[in-house]
Amino acid sequence: VEDEAHIIELARLYFEREGFRVSAVGDGEAALEAARRENPALLVLDVMLPKLDGFEVCKRVRAKSDVPIIMLTARDDDLDKIIGLELGADDYLTKPFNPRELVARVKAILRRSERAAPRADNAALHLNDVTIDPAAREVLVRGKRVTLRTKEFDLLLTLAENKGLVLTREKLLELVWGFDYVGQTRTIDVHVAHVRKALAGSQVTIET
Ligand code: CA
């Protein structure tokens, strides 16, 4: 999110060379809209923007989503604000910045959030009377196999791996459908309903 076209183009060049897909918008309101619509893996957000400034955008996005945010700032007092206001930004860079440095920061943050995602080993999970076996992609409810579609299984596994934690719809989309998914959080509701049905009669519940 940046209103200076040459900065966008420079960043785009470096990101695309590394295989990232870049979607650029030039003001704060468009940023909020794009954050909602495109479910991005990460936001790079300039402070000085038309309509809504980067602080406000950061605050509003953060109220709804835990998408990583890197803020760009040209002034020291902006930096003080980013830190002081605890806006929830994950990192910041001061302008003028080296685009390589920006790409490196983005990669570091994405690596961090991937580590927070589902574990790599394939051991079966036992939750009360439900067994989830990632290797066989099989779910047993009180010893009986239930049928789940691919994403329903992934959703259940993700929830089970994060048992007891609150996951936003956006976070679930990110973890289960992946960063590239373009769609609506309503998808989550539909899949949760199916998984709940499959778990009916077990001691495991998905709480909203
Ligand atoms: Ca700007």
Quote the pLDDT of residue 180.
Answer: 64
Q: How far is the CA of 24 from the centre of ligand 1 (A)?
A: 12
Angle at which helices 28-38 and 54-64 pack, to 10 degrees?
A: 20
Quote the pLDDT of residue 42.
Answer: 95
Q: How far is the CA of 88 from the centre of ligand 1 (A)?
A: 20
Distance CA 171, CA 178 (A): 10
Q: How far is the CA of 4 from the centre of ligand 1 (A)?
A: 6
26 vs 162, residue with greater confidence: 26
pLDDT tens digit string along 129-182?
A: 999 998 888 999 998 999 898 889 999 999 998 888 889 888 888 888 876 666
Among 76-85, 101-110, 197-206, the minimum mean pLDDT is found in 76-85
Quote the pLDDT of residue 136.
Answer: 87
Closest CA to 34 of 45, 42, 23: 23
Quote the pLDDT of residue 200.
Answer: 92
CB of 59 within 8 A of CB of 88? yes
Quote the pLDDT of residue 84.
Answer: 64
For 40: left if phi > 0, alpha if psi spans -120 to 50, otherwise beta; the answer is beta
φ, ψ of residue 195 to 5 degrees: the values are: -65, -40
Q: How far from the centroid of its chain's Cα atoms is residue 152's Cα?
A: 19
List helix spans (H) across the chain: 5-17, 28-38, 54-64, 76-84, 99-115, 150-161, 169-172, 186-199
Token pair 């998914």: residue: 181
Other beta carbons within 10 angstroms of residue 92's beta carbon come to 20
Closest CA to 65 of 83, 31, 88: 88
Buried/exposed 143-178: b ≥16 CB within 10 Å, e otherwise: eeebebeebbbbbbbbbbebeeeebebbbbbbbbbe
Q: How far is the CA of 50 from the centre of ligand 1 (A)?
A: 8
φ, ψ of residue 155 to 5 degrees: the values are: -65, -50
Is residue 182 helix, strand or coil? coil
Quote the pLDDT of residue 118.
Answer: 52
Quote the pLDDT of residue 116.
Answer: 58
Which residues are placed with Cβ below 5 angstroms of ligand 1, an ion? 3, 46, 48
For 166: left if phi > 0, alpha if psi spans -120 to 50, otherwise beta; the answer is beta
Q: How far is the CA of 60 from the centre of ligand 1 (A)?
A: 18
Among 10-19, 117-126, 163-172, the minimum mean pLDDT is found in 117-126
| Mean predicted confidence (pLDDT) in 21-31 | 96
Q: How far is the CA of 53 from the centre of ligand 1 (A)?
A: 9
Kindly report the average pLDDT of the chain as a whole number: 88
Distance CA 43, CA 32 (A): 11
Q: How far is the CA of 72 from the centre of ligand 1 (A)?
A: 9
136 vs 12, residue with greater confidence: 12
| Mean predicted confidence (pLDDT) in 169-197 | 83
- Read off the pLDDT band of 106 (50, 70, 90): very high
